[in-house]
Structure 1
Amino acid sequence: MLYQKESLNVRHLQDEDKQFLAKWLSNPAVLEFYEGRDNPFDAEKVANVFFNGEAEVEKCIVEYNQIRIGYIQFYQVNEETSKIRDYGTEENIYGMDQFIGETEYWNKGIGTLLVNSMVEYLVEKKQANRIIMDPQISNARALRCYEKCGFKKVRILPKHEFHEGQYRDCWLIEYKISANVVDLIN
Structure 2
Amino acid sequence: MYQGQLVRLREYRKEDIEKAKEFLNDFEVRKNLQIGVPYPYTLEDEEKWYSNVSAVKDTYTFALETLEGLYIGGCGINQIDWKNRKAVIGIFIGDKEYWSKGYGSDAINTLVKFIFEEINVNKIALCVYSFNERAIKCYEKCGFTREGVLREELFRQGKYHDEILMSLLKREYYK
Pairwise TM-score range, normalised by the shorter structure:
0.7 to 0.9
The corresponding residue for 1:61 is: 63
Aligned with residue 72 of structure 1, among 72, 75, 91: 75
CA distance 1:47–1:4, change in 2 (3 Å): same
Residue pair 2:143, 2:173 contacting (<8 A) in 1 also: no
**1:45 lines up with 2:45 in the alignment:** yes
Q: Tell me, what secondary structure is at the counterpart of 2:128? A: coil
Q: Deviations over 1:111-141 (max 9, x none)?
A: 1111111111111111121100011122111
TM score, norm. by length of structure 1: 0.80
CA distance 1:172–1:29, change in 2 (3 Å): same
Q: Give the Cα–Cα distance (whole angstroms) in 1 for the partners of residues 65 and 173 of structure 2.
A: 31
**1:99 lines up with 2:92 in the alignment:** yes
CA distance 1:117–1:37, change in 2 (3 Å): same
Equivalenced residues, count: 171
Counterpart of 2:146, as a letter, is K
Counterpart of 2:94, as a letter, is G
**1:28 lines up with 2:27 in the alignment:** yes
TM score, norm. by length of structure 2: 0.84
Residue pair 2:20, 2:46 contacting (<8 A) in 1 also: yes
Structure 1 residue 52: Cα displacement:
2.9
Unmatched runs of 5 consecutive residues or more in structure 2: none
CA distance 1:47–1:162, change in 2 (3 Å): farther
Q: Give the Cα–Cα distance (whole angstroms) in 2 for the partners of residues 49 and 161 of structure 1.
A: 24
Structure 1 residue 42: Cα displacement:
2.1
Unmatched runs of 5 consecutive residues or more in structure 1: 79-88
Alignment of 1:140-151 (within 5 A): 140-151=133-144
Counterpart of 1:77, as a letter, is I
The farther-off stretch of 3-12 and 138-147 is 3-12
Structure 1 residue 47: Cα displacement:
2.1
Give the alignment's Cα RMSD to 1 decimal.
Answer: 2.6
Alignment of 1:88-127 (within 5 A): 90-127=83-120
CA distance 1:179–1:150, change in 2 (3 Å): closer
Structure 1 residue 179: Cα displacement:
7.3
Q: Tell me, what secondary structure is at the counterpart of 1:51? A: helix
Residue pair 2:53, 2:61 contacting (<8 A) in 1 also: no
Q: Tell me, what secondary structure is at the counterpart of 1:134? A: strand
CA distance 1:162–1:93, change in 2 (3 Å): farther
Report percent identity of matched pairs. 27
